[in-house]
Structure 1
């Protein structure tokens, strides 16, 4: 028998969360540790309290709510995502996974269904990495990948310190930011943020893993000079070197793999005047792919291009690695639980590899993990045009709830258990 969520309540709750930090363009501007982030956290804590969950907040602001299981020795099944948003992003990114987790617990309570394993709902701190870098910060610290003191010291563009802002909004909790025990499984629902489900006319995505990625920055140091009298052969133009490499960042992926992507999303030019030859340019690279070797090759290639560009212009350069996450391939039993749920519910699904990073990437280090994707119309995300129909939201929520229930009931156990 399949679990059936209350569609009207689910949609209503999604609309309610979207009002906190909502924009005039129908999107969401709810940056990490902002006043709106405090408001949505307070709201979410009230929702968890209303369902009788045992709530806690750790020292990095990650929020958890636990529903007890019948076996005191059984490991918890965690389900959730994040409530922070991109600047002027969409209302579904992250929030859909948290609200689906909340509705899952509500439905269990409504139906009086007990689970062998405890159910734990989670809201991770700063998944987006838009105000403070890096992304997936809360889950990264919790999983032991990122150092908490180093992350506390991070600052935003205005110089605000992460730890100070966490304390300001009242969400530096008392619980250690680490797993308090072993976990059975982790499930996360997210919008696809890409076009593949829609292009293939599928209703839901069974995610088999998450791409790895490398982020970094390159800085070229040229000589500032007057743009009029300075002959071309005298120039040491940092922007020309940067432009050469940025062009290659666009071209490198096509030589490596079908799923390889590369992006320059940030450029800082100094002195940034129409009448002065640029003497310092910093720009970023970002490469993603499902395979570790291809990511490493992309990074190596862009640094080689930078060295050649610097030689051509006769200038100095340096680089900084900013983030590195390995590709993740989810465990068969959790992926199979999602596939079985989609099949049993009669949904037309496809297996898909995530092209974006998610908290599930770090959670896979802790326990067996799986994700569900909802259809993204036109593949749009990280802007106000992000759209997933309520039907597609509900389909994905139904799928992840039934997959999580399967594991929480003790089905789909690990070999040897």
Structure 2
């Protein structure tokens, strides 16, 4: 069993936190931004220093590869993304890249024998912060292998036209323009593919409180939860806030608030503590303090492993659309859905065995969040490793993972990859 370097991991955490430093302990590092380019340059510099070969594909993914003893063997790949949300933390995504680097650095330093080439990878535009959707580029690269209802949302031509969500100094207006200007538009022949790659690992912070509350350093991930996302739109009519009688109003905001409370009450009655659901987006028209709202729309994001449980929630949502709410009509619209994506059982076993061999505290865990790995899983055997997150916080500046836990995660990743190198077919 081999152990990764705490000093080296600590140095990487400190160094990469400079690229996009927002001045409050976290980062803003949009995909293909100047800040992201600095992170990419750091990755390339460090990987070249250990003798890794650098390749860049046509959608700016970077691959750094150490050769194995068998020149005909397929590669084992591990990595994540360097882009962040606005005012995000120093670990989401980038920890998977730093862990991949640490694996290759440990192999090179110790001359660890391995048959398959080992590749550390940076995925482009996982967050979709400026250029939606999230997981854009893994959706492009894995498109031929995705279920049709997902694949249609990630066509290359459409993604190149995805517009920036906000004005940001130095950002291009579309992803295609940002890609052309980045200096990182390479060749499609370098894309991740099953003819060149054997399997995929991704390390990531947990982004939740489960590991910390259980006192475990590492999560052995078995799946990404299935989910659906719907919009519920309520329509009434606008009138003056000071002159129109209460009894005659069709207030769309009041209607939406009633329906939202009803949703919470009915979903909670299902008695499924592992079920999570969120309204994170709301639109109110005309959004003027002297006008009764005539149109309100809110999102509903629902996640659970079992499709039968998700269907129970869906029946509640459908019922909402058949009812009158404060005199307003409701219509529902599906935005997005996916089935639960299960990781390769053999790779999951390698992760669990590696944690046991290293005597690192661990437990089985699901992923509630989406990751590039979930799309790769349709193309290649894939699994993930979670690292404990302080207070469960992520996508915010207080996001934190102890260097010791990050190093433990890299150690588990390294030894799981070596098990795959020896045994996986």
TM-score (norm 1): 0.92
Which of 125, 142, 149 aligns to 2:157? It is 149
Task: Confirm whether residue 393 of structure 1 aligns to residue 406 of structure 2.
Answer: yes
In 1, Cα distance between the equivalents of 2:262 and 2:397?
30
Contact 2:321 2:332 in 1 (8 A): no
In 2, Cα distance between the equivalents of 1:270 and 1:153?
28
In 1, Cα distance between the equivalents of 2:420 and 2:185?
31
Q: 1:248 to 1:162 in 2, by over 3 A?
A: farther
Which of 249, 252, 263 aligns to 1:235? It is 249
In 1, Cα distance between the equivalents of 2:283 and 2:67?
51
In 2, Cα distance between the equivalents of 1:363 and 1:118?
18
Task: Confirm whether residue 112 of structure 1 aligns to residue 111 of structure 2.
Answer: yes
For residues 164-206 of structure 1, the C-alpha deviation after alignment (integer angstroms, 9 at most, x for no partner) is 1222222332225552625321111111111111111112111
Contact 2:161 2:176 in 1 (8 A): yes
What's 2:308 paired with?
293
Question: After alignment, is 212-221 or 115-124 more displaced?
Answer: 212-221
Instruction: After TM superposition, list the pairs within 5 Å mapping 1:115-194 onto structure 2.
Output: 115-144=114-143, 145=151, 146-158=154-166, 160-175=173-188, 179=193, 181-194=195-208
Contact 1:245 1:302 in 2 (8 A): no
Deviation of 1:142 after TM superposition, in Å, equals: 1.2
Contact 1:183 1:366 in 2 (8 A): no
Instruction: After TM superposition, list the pairs within 5 Å mapping 1:357-376 onto structure 2.
Output: 357-376=370-389
What's 1:343 paired with?
356
Q: 1:221 to 1:172 in 2, by over 3 A?
A: farther
In 1, Cα distance between the equivalents of 2:269 and 2:179?
43
What's 2:393 paired with?
380
What's 1:356 paired with?
369
Deviation of 1:13 after TM superposition, in Å, equals: 1.1
What's 2:274 paired with?
259
In 2, Cα distance between the equivalents of 1:249 and 1:155?
33
In 1, Cα distance between the equivalents of 2:179 and 2:318?
36
Contact 2:194 2:379 in 1 (8 A): no
Task: Confirm whether residue 272 of structure 1 aligns to residue 280 of structure 2.
Answer: no
Deviation of 1:37 after TM superposition, in Å, equals: 1.8
In 1, Cα distance between the equivalents of 2:332 and 2:34?
35
For residues 22-53 of structure 1, the C-alpha deviation after alignment (integer angstroms, 9 at most, x for no partner) is 12211111122322122222322222222322
What's 2:236 paired with?
222
In 2, Cα distance between the equivalents of 1:252 and 1:129?
33
Deviation of 1:298 after TM superposition, in Å, equals: 2.7
Alpha-carbon RMSD across the aligned residues, in angstroms, is 2.0
What's 2:147 paired with?
none
Contact 2:230 2:332 in 1 (8 A): yes
In 2, Cα distance between the equivalents of 1:34 and 1:246?
38
What's 1:322 paired with?
335
Deviation of 1:154 after TM superposition, in Å, equals: 1.5
What's 2:82 paired with?
83
Contact 2:132 2:165 in 1 (8 A): no
Q: 1:295 to 1:128 in 2, by over 3 A?
A: farther
Gap regions ≥5 residues in structure 2? 144-150, 168-172
Contact 1:134 1:323 in 2 (8 A): no
In 2, Cα distance between the equivalents of 1:221 and 1:35?
43
Gap regions ≥5 residues in structure 1? none
Q: Give the length in aligned residue pairs.
A: 409
Q: 1:132 to 1:307 in 2, by over 3 A?
A: farther
Q: 1:249 to 1:186 in 2, by over 3 A?
A: farther
Task: Confirm whether residue 208 of structure 1 aligns to residue 219 of structure 2.
Answer: no
